[in-house]
Amino acid sequence: KNEVEQSPQNLTAQEGEFITINCSYSVGISALHWLQQHPGGGIVSLFMLSSGKKKHGRLIATINIQEKHSSLHITASHPRDSAVYICAHISNFGNEKLTFGTGTRLTIIP
Protein backbone atom coordinates (compact mmCIF):
# COMPACT_ATOMS: atom_id res chain seq x y z
CA LYS A 1 0.00 0.00 0.00
CA ASN A 2 1.39 3.37 -1.02
CA GLU A 3 2.05 5.72 1.89
CA VAL A 4 0.31 8.43 -0.13
CA GLU A 5 -3.10 7.80 -1.68
CA GLN A 6 -4.79 10.23 -4.03
CA SER A 7 -8.38 10.29 -5.18
CA PRO A 8 -9.81 10.34 -7.67
CA GLN A 9 -7.22 8.95 -10.08
CA ASN A 10 -8.97 10.62 -13.00
CA LEU A 11 -11.40 13.53 -13.01
CA THR A 12 -13.21 15.14 -15.93
CA ALA A 13 -15.25 18.28 -15.35
CA GLN A 14 -16.86 21.13 -17.23
CA GLU A 15 -15.24 24.54 -17.35
CA GLY A 16 -16.28 26.61 -14.35
CA GLU A 17 -16.80 23.71 -11.96
CA PHE A 18 -15.32 23.60 -8.47
CA ILE A 19 -12.69 20.86 -8.30
CA THR A 20 -11.50 18.90 -5.27
CA ILE A 21 -8.60 16.47 -5.27
CA ASN A 22 -7.88 14.48 -2.13
CA CYS A 23 -4.67 13.16 -0.62
CA SER A 24 -4.38 10.81 2.35
CA TYR A 25 -1.19 9.63 3.98
CA SER A 26 -0.34 7.09 6.62
CA VAL A 27 2.67 8.44 8.50
CA GLY A 28 3.47 11.52 10.54
CA ILE A 29 4.69 14.28 8.31
CA SER A 30 6.68 17.49 8.45
CA ALA A 31 5.08 18.99 5.37
CA LEU A 32 2.95 18.21 2.35
CA HIS A 33 3.71 19.28 -1.20
CA TRP A 34 1.22 19.78 -4.03
CA LEU A 35 2.67 19.69 -7.53
CA GLN A 36 1.25 20.16 -11.01
CA GLN A 37 2.54 18.20 -13.98
CA HIS A 38 1.73 19.69 -17.34
CA PRO A 39 0.84 17.57 -20.38
CA GLY A 40 4.34 18.22 -21.71
CA GLY A 41 5.82 16.61 -18.58
CA GLY A 42 7.13 19.60 -16.63
CA ILE A 43 6.49 19.67 -12.87
CA VAL A 44 5.66 22.86 -11.01
CA SER A 45 5.42 23.34 -7.27
CA LEU A 46 2.02 24.68 -6.22
CA PHE A 47 2.05 24.58 -2.42
CA MET A 48 4.08 23.38 0.52
CA LEU A 49 2.08 23.33 3.74
CA SER A 50 2.32 21.85 7.19
CA SER A 51 -0.91 23.17 8.71
CA GLY A 52 -4.09 25.03 7.89
CA LYS A 53 -4.74 26.43 4.47
CA LYS A 54 -2.94 28.25 1.67
CA LYS A 55 -4.40 30.09 -1.31
CA HIS A 56 -2.86 31.17 -4.57
CA GLY A 57 -5.18 32.62 -7.16
CA ARG A 58 -7.92 30.07 -7.87
CA LEU A 59 -6.07 27.29 -6.05
CA ILE A 60 -6.58 26.47 -2.39
CA ALA A 61 -4.80 23.76 -0.41
CA THR A 62 -5.87 22.58 3.02
CA ILE A 63 -4.40 20.06 5.42
CA ASN A 64 -5.73 18.28 8.50
CA ILE A 65 -2.78 16.84 10.37
CA GLN A 66 -4.90 14.84 12.83
CA GLU A 67 -6.81 13.12 10.03
CA LYS A 68 -3.70 12.80 7.82
CA HIS A 69 -5.55 14.32 4.89
CA SER A 70 -5.06 17.18 2.47
CA SER A 71 -7.22 18.60 -0.29
CA LEU A 72 -6.49 20.73 -3.32
CA HIS A 73 -9.36 22.84 -4.59
CA ILE A 74 -9.64 24.71 -7.86
CA THR A 75 -12.34 27.36 -8.18
CA ALA A 76 -13.80 28.43 -11.54
CA SER A 77 -11.88 25.69 -13.34
CA HIS A 78 -10.50 26.39 -16.80
CA PRO A 79 -9.19 24.12 -19.58
CA ARG A 80 -5.65 25.34 -18.84
CA ASP A 81 -5.98 23.67 -15.41
CA SER A 82 -5.92 20.30 -17.20
CA ALA A 83 -2.88 18.52 -15.80
CA VAL A 84 -1.82 15.81 -13.40
CA TYR A 85 -1.84 16.94 -9.77
CA ILE A 86 0.59 15.19 -7.47
CA CYS A 87 0.64 15.12 -3.69
CA ALA A 88 3.85 14.29 -1.83
CA HIS A 89 4.78 14.29 1.83
CA ILE A 90 7.93 14.71 3.85
CA SER A 91 7.86 12.38 6.82
CA ASN A 92 8.80 13.67 10.24
CA PHE A 93 11.58 11.10 10.55
CA GLY A 94 14.10 13.78 9.68
CA ASN A 95 15.37 12.54 6.32
CA GLU A 96 13.57 15.26 4.35
CA LYS A 97 12.75 13.00 1.42
CA LEU A 98 9.49 13.26 -0.52
CA THR A 99 7.14 10.30 -0.91
CA PHE A 100 4.81 10.79 -3.86
CA GLY A 101 1.27 9.80 -4.69
CA THR A 102 0.57 8.52 -8.18
CA GLY A 103 -1.30 11.66 -9.20
CA THR A 104 -4.78 12.74 -10.24
CA ARG A 105 -5.32 13.40 -13.93
CA LEU A 106 -7.67 16.38 -14.31
CA THR A 107 -9.35 17.24 -17.60
CA ILE A 108 -11.45 20.39 -17.90
CA ILE A 109 -13.78 20.45 -20.88
CA PRO A 110 -14.66 23.84 -22.41
Partner 1 sequence: DADVTQTPRNRITKTGKRIMLECSQTKGHDRMYWYRQDPGLGLRLIYYSFDVKDINKGEISDGYSVSRQAQAKFSLSLESAIPNQTALYFCATSGSSGGRSSYEQYFGPGTRLTVT
Contact footprint for partner 1 (CB under 8 A): 2, 4, 30-31, 33, 35, 41-45, 48, 86, 88, 90, 96-98, 100-103
| Cα 110 → chain centroid | 22
Identity at 34, one-letter amino acid code: W
Could you list the beta-strand ranges (E) of 1-110.
Answer: 4-7, 10-14, 19-25, 29-37, 43-49, 52-56, 59-64, 69-74, 83-91, 98-100, 104-109
Which CB sits closer to partner 1, 18 or 93? 93
Which CB sits closer to partner 1, 12 or 102? 102
Which CB sits closer to partner 1, 21 or 101? 101
User: Residue 65 CB, nearest distance to partner 1 (Å)?
Assistant: 15
Q: How buried is residue 51: exposed, middle or buried, by Cβ count under 10 Å (0-12/13-18/19+)?
A: exposed
Which CB sits closer to partner 1, 81 or 89? 89
User: Residue 59 CB, nearest distance to partner 1 (Å)?
Assistant: 15
User: Residue 93 CB, nearest distance to partner 1 (Å)?
Assistant: 13
